[in-house]
A = this chain, B = another copy of it.
Amino acid sequence: MLYVIGLGPGSKEMMSYEAVEAIEKCDVIVGYTTYVRIIKEMLTDQEVVSTGMKREIDRCEKAIEIALTGKTVGVISSGDAGIYGMAGLILELVGNHEKDLEVKVIPGVTASIGGAALLGAPIMHDFCHISLSDLLTPWEVIEKRLHAAASSDFVICLYNPRSKGRPDNLAKALSIISEYKSTETLVGIAKDVGRKKEQAIVTTINELDEELVDMTTIVIVGNKETYLAKGKMITPRGYSL
């Protein structure tokens, strides 16, 4: 049995009961070192197999190999494992494998939802997720989606908005978005959601300080009705008040 477990943004409080129960049932936990640290205090006698970043395929193959010996294995992902997480890769590898293996994906709170709750209610109307990482996706595909989403006034949640290796992708994305949305459009920045140093900042496309944005950040660009009231970023659903 292989569980793919979404840990949520980063505190036990934001994990689901079934995620914690799945961890308790596991003989072996497989995950990126940072995520293993998050659940460390929950572990009893589970064996831990942790690896560094960018070793996703190795990590998933290892997890499948151990699960096929009959052990219960949990692969952990931050946020939700089915959103830019490990669920897809595990299911792809299991799908290709000559042997069958039962996989259960345990959903979690993804960064946009955790960040939105901290900012107020910015994703109350139609929204999309676009990852700005072009490691696995051609930049032209990302650009096409930015054009489409901005031109039809979706609220846009930018995942992987800015890293050392890709310092300019956020600026490029905001420049495309500004072809359609006013530069006065509100932008919410949520950092380290669910951790002690969590931070919510509401600014505009124009005023955004890129230095605030790194890979632990989710950036949410509002639609044309998004506004600020008593410090909260709100995208109205459309009720007449």
Contacts and interface: CB of A to CB of B under 8 A. Distances in A.
B91 A229 contact: yes
Give the dominant DSSP class at A's interface. Answer: mixed
A83 B124 contact: yes
A121 B232 contact: no
A121 B91 contact: yes
Interface string A1-41: 00000001000111111101100000000000000000000
B16 A109 contact: yes
A126 interface: yes
Contacts of A80: 109, 113, 117
B127 A129 contact: yes
Interface in A67-117: 80-85, 87-96, 100, 103, 105-110, 113-114, 116-117
Contacts of A136: 237-239
Nearest to A234: B91
A92 B229 contact: yes
Contacts of A95: 229-230, 232, 234
